[in-house]
Amino acid sequence: MFGLGMPELIVLLVIVLLIFGVGKLPQIGEGLGKAIRGFRRSVSEPEPPSTLPEKDKPPKKNPEETKSP
């Protein structure tokens, strides 16, 4: 796991506790969980077909319409 052992994870957890406090940890965990679920969902679902036009091209004119009398 990224070269982190148990002692490094414990130190990291203590630092997070000191910075954010015990009260904020559930909110941080919830936000992180939602982010991970959203990422997994977006990776696993196929991308919907695009409804945008490829290029904004001017309409083609008929050569007969451009002739003047």
The C-alpha atoms of residue 60 and residue 58 are separated, in whole angstroms, by: 6
Q: How many domains does the chain have?
A: 1
Per-residue pLDDT of the chain (69 residues; tens, 9 = 90+): 478 888 898 898 889 889 888 888 889 889 989 999 999 988 887 776 666 555 655 556 666 655 555
Residue 5 in domain: no
Q: What pLDDT is stored for residue 31 in this prediction?
A: 92
Q: Domain of 21?
A: 15-43
Is residue 22 in some structural domain? yes
Question: Tokens standing for 23?
Answer: 């009260």
- Would you give the distance in Å from CA 3 to the centre of its chain? 26
Please tell me the predicted confidence (pLDDT) of residue 62: 64
Task: Evaluate whether residue 64 is within a structural domain.
Answer: no
Instruction: Give, to the nearest 10 degrees, the angle between helix 25-44 and helix 6-20.
Output: 120
